[in-house]
Each structure stands twice: as C-alpha cells, then as structure tokens.
Structure 1
Amino acid sequence: MASQTSKPLPYTANPLLLMANDLMLFLQITFTWPITAGLPSTVIPLWPTRAGSLDELAPTVPNLWCIFQHVILIVAQIGFIVSLMPLTLVGLPLFYFLYVVGFVAANKWASKLINGPRQRGLFQSHPDCVKGKPKHDNEEWVFINGVSVGKHWLQANLDLIAMTFRRPVVGIHNQTRGIIFDVLECIIQRDLGFATMDIRQSYEALLTILAKDNIDKVVLILHSQGGIEGGLVLDWLYDTEDAERLRKLEIYTFGNAANHWNAPVTASTIPARASQDPTTGSNSINESGATSQRIVQHIEHYANEGDYVSKFGVLHFRPDQARTQSLATDGSALPSITSERADAARLVKNKAVTYPQPRPPKIKTALARSQTWTTSPQTPIERHDHLKQMQQNNRFFGRLFKRASSGHLLNQHYLDNMFEMQGVDPRDRSLGEVKDSNEFMDKEVDLGVYTQWDTVQAVGEERPQGSPTSVRNGTVRTQIKDLSRLWAYRNGGSPRD
C-alpha cells in the first residue's frame, strides 16, 4: 500500500504534454555543444575494451556485423520518417497506409537478423561463468536489456554480469527494432504507460520467479530502456503481488531511461512520528528513532554524467540539485539523515574510524564538473509556473551513483569501469575477478551532497588508486564503494544485511 502522503506523479499528467516535453528535452540535449556531449556520448569513449570480445565495440566479427545492421536500419528509418510528411501531399490514403504498414513489417523482418527468433523461455548466462564458484541457490538474478540489443549483445551482457558477480543470470530479451524505432518505443512506453510484449513477458517471468519458495532474494538488473520496462513491471507488481514476496527484490539500474521510479511504503511499518525524505523518498529516521520501510528496500541507480540516455532519464527526473544549491555551514539546512545513511555511518564506526559530520557541497567541485559534462536542462514546459507544483511532487526513489564520464553501453562503459575485472579470458568465462579497487569506486564521497540528496558522487580531489581510505587531519573519509550494496556482490560475495 502506498504512503498516505503520496501525491500525483508527473508521469500521470496529460500524455500529449509528456510527449511534447520529451521532444523538447530531446532537442535540447541532442543539439548541444560540444557535439560529443549529445547523441555521440552514448558510444564515446570507443575504447578501451577491458572485457575483450564481451564489450560491445570490441572489433570482433559478431560486433561489427551487429553495428553494420544497425547502421542500415538507422538510414532506412530516418528516410522513412522524413518521407512521411511529403507523402501526405500525394492524397492517396490507401497508398499511404500500405506504405507505412509495409515498411514496419519489413523492418520487423530485418530486425530478426539481429534478434533471432523470439524464444519462449528466458536467456541464460554461460554455465562457465559460475564454474567452480560457490552456489547461491536461494538467489535468482534477472536482467532486462536496453535499446539496440540483439541476441549477441544480450548474451555478452548476461555473461559479463555473471562473471562480475559469479551468479547465473537469466535474461528477458527486450528485442530491438533499430535504434530510431527503439527510441520511439521508449517514448510510447514511458509517456503512455503502454505495456509492450517485452513488458508483459517480464511481468509474467518475475511473477513466476517471486513465487518460488526456495528463492528468498531476487536481484533485478536493468539497463537503459530496461529501466522503463522494469519500472512499469514494478508498478504492476505493486498492485498485484503480496508485499512479503516483493521484499525479495533488490533493484540495480544502469543508465536508467525511465521518468519515474515508485517504491511504496508498507503502511504497517510507518510509525506516527516517522518522516520521509521529501526529495528521494528514502527510508527515514526521526528523533524518536522510528523508521519507515519501503517494500523494496534496496534500490541503486548508476549513471554516467555524460551519458545521453541518463540525461534523458534518471539524471533529469530524479530530484538532485547538488550543483546549484548550497547548505548552511553548520548543517542546519540538512534534512534528517535517512536510515540507510545512518547504517553507513554505523558501518564506518564499526571499523574503528571517525565518521565526519555532513559537510556542505563543494561549490568549486560542482562548477568544475558542470563545465566538463553538460547537465540535463529544464524544458520550457517544465519552467512554466503552473507545472512547478507537479515537478515538486516527482518521485524517483533509490540511491544515485554518479560517475564523471560519458558512455551508455552496459559492458564497455558501466561494468568495465565501475566493476573493473582482471584476468578476463572470453574463451574461458570461469577466469577473471573484479579488482578490489578501481578509479571510480575508490573516489572519496562528497558527504554534503550525499546527506542532502542520497546521491553518491566524488569530491574534486584526486587520490592514488587503491588507497583503502583517505585520511585528512585525522578524519577518515568515505569512499564510493563503502555506500554501494552492489559492490559487495562482486566475485560471488554478499552484503552484510
């Protein structure tokens, strides 16, 4: 059951208004300067390919074949869309109808070369990914892919996820129809709330998995458009599934393209005096020590700041004004620390270190970041006065992890950098392990931003890679990996609950 303080969400507004807003946002972030901050940011950087042939842009024959097919579909689909307006002047409705239907049918047939035939069962990661590794029979790991992913890239995603966390992973294939048509489908899904076949398949699959008595943890990993589909599936599950079963879920998204993320509170666990963080909706703790519990208790979103799709999704719709707002130096402007953040503080304390008081965000750091990576702008519609209240009611729950880089590809731009592996051999997927340190996870957390927004991003100072903890003036600072629950699953490990 949702909290009594829940308010209407922006995605429930007039669908035509939402689509117009998405069009304006598309134009603002696509035609920008530098040009690499626009659409090219989805594939930049082109290298390195740390996971070898498992990376999407590695120069292998299957990868090059997928890229070639997508280029053909992009050219054909752009030509088709451009031709629609002039053909209306011909004045032959039957011809126009047959032309549209014929192209869509031909496009669907051509995309089967990338997708392969639709299979009834779920895709599976390669068995060698867990060969000789400890079993986790009480867990089920599920993945839903993003745009432009056919059968080959889906298998590569599943295998690298399985190698990173050393668990078998099942995949629900969000089939591609070409990048242009995939983007149009994203807009239809998130603005109209339309459940495509992939969403319906995902719902049925998760219902079946959650109903298994021998499974007490379901880890759902979503990428790109998979975030839209996973979010809509969750909305259905919140309405139809028992809360006890839904508590099995943990959710981790990468480059999430959704415009909302719901996380209802169970009414029986909301004390009368408990309060909620009004910005992120995290579980909160007040002076009486009471806490509120959400049905899905662990939600983490990972986003590259220069990722075009993230700026179209999570980085745009999730409340986070760390770059433009400042806090009082005495911390008086900070909201109550959430229970998850209190747990993080206790974790550091248990390591016999001193956890510092929340600091104001470093404005100098914020300005430097915004000069490198363009932020997701407000649209003219969003700046309109009568819509401001609706914007304030937006809910995009979960902890956000920001990495100061571009790139949208799951393997090459997210997993390779946030969960960097060593000793990887694509010919033997049982080999390789995640390094204990990497450039992203070792960075020091800006605690002012974290405390106010539940956003985990690095401060500006660089530290040597591999430093276990940074110490300045006798005070221990927190690293990004200290706050990432997903990090604890690497190499077959498990977080301490």
Structure 2
Amino acid sequence: MSLTLYSIASLSTIVCGLLTMAGLGWFWRKRPVLPDANGTKFVGSQIGGKSVINYSYTDMPWKLMAFDVYYFFIFIWALPHILLPITPADSGDLAELSLTRGNLFCIAIHFVLVILQLGFIVSLPLMVLLPIWTAVLAIALFFVVNHALCMLINGKVVEYHSDPKYAPALPEHAHEQWIFINGVAVGEHWMQNNLNRLALTFKRPILGIHNKTAGIIFDVVECLVQRNLGFATTDVRVCYRIIKEKLYSPQYSKVVFVLHSQGAIEGSLILDWLLQELPQDLLSKLEVYTFGNAANHFNNPHRHVHSQDIAFNNPIAASLDSAPILRTPSPNPHAAATTHAKGPHTHHPAAKTSTPSSFSVVPSLPWETSSSTPSKVSDRAIGHIEHYAHTTDFVALWGVLHFTSSAPGSVSMPRFIGRVFARTTPRGGHQLNLHYLDSMFPLEKSQTNSKEFVGCLEEGNEFMESEIVIGAEGNEMDSMREAMDVSWLARRGGKEGEREVEIHGGSPVEQKGRFRSRTGAVGVDGKRATRVKVKELSRLWQYRNGRSPEEKPPLLMRDGEGVVRTATL
C-alpha cells in the first residue's frame, strides 16, 4: 500500500514538474522585451505618513498571502533571472555560480533538497491515507534528512567575519561597524564569499549574521511567513541585539547595515523593533543599504510632523533645508558637546565619559540658521536608506520595486522608505556577488596578477557613470516622492556659484549660486527635469575603497583626531 502511494506521489511530482515547466515557458514567452542597453531610474524616498499602496504589511495575513501569490504569477517571467545570467563572473571565485569546488558542492546539495522538498509537498496530502503513526514517522524522517543535508552547507555558528586579507581593520574606520544579513539559499560558503566581496569593495571588516538556509523551497515559505506574519527567526533576534549594542556603544558613531534578498525582510523587522525602543538620536547613527530587497515595507518616520507636512506640500523647499537646527544651539560649544555626550551613558553607567575638551561643534554652514524648519531629508529617525534593484530581478520586482512604484491607496497605509536605484541591464539577476556587486560595484584587477583584485573599480563604472533623469514624469507619484537632496549634490561638486538644480517641474531654485546640477535643467516631453549621475546620488558609492562620505550636521561633532562623530557620544 505504501509503495503504491509513494509511486503515485512520485508520478504526481513528475506531472507537476512538467506542468510547472510548461507554465514557466508560457510566461517566459510573455515576458517584457528587455532592452540591450543599460539604464537606471532613480526613485526618491516616499514621504512618510502618506499612502504607498492599496494594501500593506499591516493588513490581515490571508490578504497579504493572496496578494503575494497573485504577484508571484504576475512577475513569474523574471524567475529565471534569480540565477541568470551565469556569466560573466567578474569577481572570480567569489561569484556564487563560478565553477569552484565549494560552489559546485552547494549547488549539488540544493538540487537534492529541491527534489526532496517538491516530493514532500506533493505527497503531503496523501499522508491522510496512511496510518497516523506511519505518516508521523515519514514526516519526521523527511525533516531529519532535510536538516542533515542543510547542516552540510550551513555551518554551526550565526556570526561570521570577513577575511582580514580582504580588508584589515584600520584606525580610521574604528568608529564604524558594518553588518550584513544574507538572502535565500545561502550556506556557510556563500555567506563567507558575500562578506569577503563586501570587504574587498568597501575596505572595511564586515560582520555577518547568517540567515541559514533550509533549502530553496522552504526558504521561500519562510520569506512569506516572515513578511506577512512578522515572524522573527533566530538570526533576526541575534542581529537586533547586536545592532542595538553597537548603537549604544560610545565606540561607534556609525552602524552600516547591508541587506540582500530575504535579509532585507529580516532587516525591516529589525528596524521596526529599533524604532520602537531606541532614542532617535542613536538611530541617526544607522545607515541601511539593500540589494534585491524582498521586504514589503521599510519604515523610517520623520522626527516631527511639521517637517513631514512641509516635505509633502513643498518638496523643493524641504530639499533645500538639508541641515535643520531643531533647537537653538548652545552659545558654548563645549557645553553643547558635554550635554550630547551624556546621552547613551544614562543607560550604560559603566561607559567612559568623553572629555568635553576633546570635542568641538562642527562649524555652521551657510544654510544653517537657528530658525530653520525641520526637513524631510535630514529630519528622519534613521540616518540614510538606499535600495539597489535590477528591473529583471524577480525578488526585487516582488519586493522593493512593487511596493515603491504601485498606485497610492489610503492615507493610513504604512510606507516603504528609502531611495531606489532601479537598473535595467542584461546582467540584471539576483545573486549578490555575481549580479549586483559585479554589475554595480565592479572590482579592479591587480596589474601583476589578473586573478587578484585590489578593490572597487574607480573609473569606467558604467552604472555609477550613467545619468538619471529626475522630475521628468510629472505624475502624481512624483509629488509624493522625496525631492533630491540638493545640498548633497552641491557639496559633491564644486565651489559656490557653479550649480543650479530644478526639480520635479518646479521653478529654478531662488538662491542661485548655491545649488547647481552638473548637466543643468533639461526638457523631457515639455516638463522640467534634472540630469545627474548615479554616483552623485549614491551615498554607498562614497564608501568605496575605504573612503567615507562627507558628513552633514546637525548632531555631528569632531573629536580631537578630527573624526566626525554623532553628538550622542
């Protein structure tokens, strides 16, 4: 009897597999025609408190599941791009699908897991025909085998570190902590490669929190549970504790959180917890960067409702006010430093108190006044959020690109905050190293050894040199997006009086001589627009090869060594 049932299950698996392949073939033929050339679209961060989409992560779980299944089939044409293209593997052995012993072993294990899990799912309804003890034993045996196979590629620990040979710890980065959470199907080997690739690109040690794999199919199920039910797995809880400790630690003035795929779902849950518990001046230390984001929300509220209102009603004015003073500065710089330096020590009495004389307030800049109105750009709880996505990446389409580009619904809907760089390219897959970093942050080879890399490629980066047209669409959604941070562009470029920016169809900036764009205002279909390069908007690019972006006041001070630190220290 059991043999007959398992024969039926096996036959069902084969039939379902053939139907799935046929369905994928049909959807593949119906997929959008992709351009051969590269192109990048910039989407400014959504304005907090306003509508984002006609359903949200706060809706009933059954509704969220139904929408996820529906959009799974809408975007199923892009499913092959989770793995494709396989070449070129510009990062060599660090690429996930390059032909190395470690990669081939991981691929083989995952192939076996997919077959086993498909067979299990198909045969599960047939278990009702078996005696209870037989069904329980069969299910238990399957999970034991599945777990044993996963242990072969997962490793035993949760915390990993990049290899020091790729990025040794340097004194100038001692005040930073970089943390990474991986995506679906990543075992110990691929996790280490991800960390080493990030360390090689940004020349900083990377701490990795391992989101262990249970097999591709079960990982996808876990994604649905996490993003629709808000369920926090072990790695989410461990990472939350670590980030919280780092934010409170006086040693660190910056915590950089890098997320990929399912890791972004986990990161969104962690941000929710941090926003609930931590003082917002500590959260200003945090920066978040995602690749192929699979989350359905990303929160980062304004500190003040007044700045939110101004951001929505007048994006241009808000973007000019990039460095607000939220309270009247103390006339005594050392007194101000002393006041701010006590913040986290209230919670950590054992921490050493900073010496007031070792700090000085950052000099006031021309656009800083005590009467400045809080801005939506700098008046957010979390310091900075950016999302990088490929328009052919199934996970990004199902996640960040869907939730940042859908039509608005009710004003009560939560938000998906962060600037989005959406790139259309023939190399637009989902793997972190092979597709995202190789495409957006390519490596430079050593002149003496073509198999070694020296860091991120400085010149000839096609993605970073590409131009983005901002404000050309002129639709309703544009008015609900964050306007460009004009001061960021101005200070990346040159002297006063050299640049002017016109944004989202608005009139020229009144204070000419302070803000100008590299290419000036252009007309697109009769609407006003601005052309800028990706590298002028990408904050993450400023970290390449050990560099650091120019920091912005307020709440920033310089210590005795000239290092810019948040005033919470």
CA distance in 1, matches of 2:210, 2:518: 40
Q: Which has the higher mean CA deviation after the structures are superposed, 183-192 or 107-116?
A: 107-116
Deviation at residue 128 of structure 1 after TM alignment: 1.2
Task: Find the aligned partners of 2:267 and 2:56 in 1 and give their Cα distance.
Answer: 18
Cα-to-partner distance string for 1:235-280 (whole Å, 9 max, x where unaligned):
111111221221110000000000011112223xx437842349x9
- Matched with 1:407 is 429
Confirm or deny that 1:434 pairs with 2:457: yes
C-alpha separation between the residues in 2 aligned to 1:311 and 1:4? 22
Report the CA distance between 1:59 and its aligned residue. Answer: 0.8
2:311 aligned to which of 264, 271, 276: 276
Query: What CA distance in whole angstroms lies between the structure 2 residues aligned with 1:110 and 1:256?
Result: 27
In 1, are the aligned partners of 2:307 and 2:373 still within 8 Å (CA)? no
In 2, Cα distance between the equivalents of 1:246 and 1:15? 29
Note if contact 1:274-1:291 (Cα within 8 Å) is conserved in structure 2.
no
Q: CA deviation at 1:170?
A: 0.4
Match of 1:204 among 215, 238, 241: 241
| Structure 1 position 20 matched with structure 2 position 56 | no
- When residues 54 and 19 of structure 1 are mapped into structure 2, their CA distance, relative to the original with a 3 A threshold, is same
Return the index of the structure with the highest Cα Rg.
2
Matches within 5 A, 1:304-383: 304-319=390-405
The 5 A counterparts of 1:233-248 are 233-248=270-285
- TM-score in terms of structure 1 length: 0.74
Paired with 1:218 and 1:275, the residues of 2 have a C-alpha distance of 29
Residue equivalent to 1:105: 144
Residue from 439, 446, 451 that aligns with 1:417: 439
How many Å separate the matches in 1 of 2:439 and 2:162?
A: 21
CA change 1:449–1:237 in 2 (3 A) is farther
User: Map of 1:66-105 to 2, 5 A cutoff?
Assistant: 66-88=106-128, 90=129, 92-105=131-144
CA positional deviation for 1:480:
1.0
1:44 aligns with 2:84: yes
1:490 to 536, 544, 550: 544
Given that residues 390 and 422 in structure 2 are in contact (C-alpha distance below 8 angstroms), is that contact kept between their aligned partners in structure 1?
yes
1:121-171 superposed Cα distances (whole Å, 9 cap, x missing partner): x21111112249663111000000000110111111101101101011100
Please say if residues 275 and 285 of structure 1, whose CA atoms lie closer than 8 Å, have aligned partners that are also in contact: no
Distance 2:546 2:107 in 1: 33
Relative to structure 1, the CA distance from residue 476 to residue 454 in structure 2 (aligned partners, 3 Å threshold; closer, same or farther) is closer
CA contact (8 A) 1:218 1:248 kept: yes
Q: Could you list the runs of 5+ residues in structure 1 that have no partner in the other structure? A: 322-387, 457-467
- Deviations for 1:201-220, whole angstroms, at most 9, x for unmatched residues? 11111122212111000000
For 1:450 and 1:493, locate their aligned partners in 2 and report how far apart those are by CA, in whole Å: 34
CA distance in 2, matches of 1:443, 1:274: 33
How many residues align? The count is 405
**Contact 1:146-1:223 within 8 A present in 2 as well:** yes
- Among 187, 193, 196, which residue is 2:230 paired with? 193
- 1:299 aligns with one of 369, 376, 385: 385
CA contact (8 A) 1:318 1:394 kept: no
Distance in 1 between residues matched to 2:398 and 2:306, nearest whole Å: 36
Residue deviations 1:35-89 (CA, integer Å, cap 9, x gap) = xx3x21111111111110001011111111111111111111111111112223x
Q: What amino acid does structure 1 have at the position aligned with 2:109?
A: Q
Q: Is the partner of 1:262 in helix, strand or coil?
A: coil
Structure 1 residue 319, shift from structure 2 partner = 3.2
**Match of residue 94 from structure 2:** 54
Contact conserved, 1:133 with 1:492, CA < 8 A, in 2?
no
Q: Deviations over 1:78-106 (max 9, x none)?
A: 11111112223x05333333333332232
Using the size of structure 2 for normalisation, the TM-score is: 0.65
Q: Pairwise CA RMSD of aligned residues?
A: 3.3
The 3-state SS of whatever aligns with 2:465 is coil
Per-residue deviation at 1:117? 1.4
Look up the match of 2:187: 150
The structure-2 alpha-carbon separation of the partners of 1:311 and 1:391, relative to structure 1 and needing over 3 Å to count, comes to farther
Q: Which residue of 2 aligns with 1:324?
A: none
Identity %: 42
> Which AA in structure 2 matches 1:291?
S
Structure 2: gaps (5+ residues): 1-46, 322-371, 485-516, 524-528, 552-569
Distance 1:228 1:4, change over 3 A: closer
Q: Shift in Å at residue 110 of structure 1?
A: 1.2
SS of residue paired to 1:53: helix
